[in-house]
Amino acid sequence: MSVIAEGVTVAYGNKVVLKDVNLVLGPGKYWLSGPNASGKTTLLKTLSFLIKPVKGRVVAFGKEDARGEVVYVPPSPVLLKGTVLRNLEFGVRIRGSGDPLWAAKKLGIEDLLHEDVSSLSSGQAALVTLGRALAVRPRALMVDEILSYLDEENKEVALKALDEAEVVVIASHEPLNLPRIRVKGGRAFLERAV
């Protein structure tokens, strides 16, 4: 199964940000790259069904609205007040399914479960934000530059944990050895691995 963009155009008012994007993303991880303000976040949010295209459509796993199966991870840590566990449980409570303890173990943060998030480093906060997304066991993850908060060791842990989803798109200014989706001039296209 896959995540597909067919002739997708996205605009904010009169400003076209993405134009006629066609992508077929089969199982695996992809590196999303492009200059600042090129439309990377817009593409990730569109593939996550958070932004509706003005033209074209997105289909994920055979559905034209797969919000429950595709999760967007923001570029900066976003945490609720309280404990790490409360944060990991948030999406699980809303959706009624998932496994916050599994996500904590995958990311190596199980020893932080009862810590207040106000005491976390920015790297730990990024792992908790990523863990909240993983905890709902999505089929696809759209990860928006949050890996930049992680040191090399935790980045490797996070990349391995992301293997649990069928399709993962990771926006990053740092090169990743993955098939590359390049966004430039309102277009997005898939290239070979770097």
Which CATH number does the domain housing residue 117 bear? 3.40.50.300
Work out whether the CA dihedral 88, 137, 91, 157 comes out positive or negative.
Answer: positive
> How many domains in the chain?
1
Statement: residue 13 has pLDDT above 50:
yes
Q: How confident is the model at residue 193 (pLDDT cuts 50, 70, 90)?
A: low
- Comparing CA positions, the residue from 163, 150, 137, 184 lying closest to residue 35 is 184
pLDDT, one tens digit per residue, over 22-76 is 999 999 999 999 999 999 999 999 999 999 999 999 999 999 989 889 999 999 9
pLDDT tens-digit readout, 91-115: 898 888 899 999 999 999 999 999 9
Tokens of 139: 């089929």
Q: How confident is the model at residue 192 (pLDDT cuts 50, 70, 90)?
A: low
Q: Residue 50's domain spans which residues? A: 3-193
pTM given for the model: 0.94
183: tokens are: 């966004």
Model confidence band, residue 194 (pLDDT cutoffs 50, 70, 90): very low
Report the distance separating Cα 42 and Cα 72, nearest Å.
11
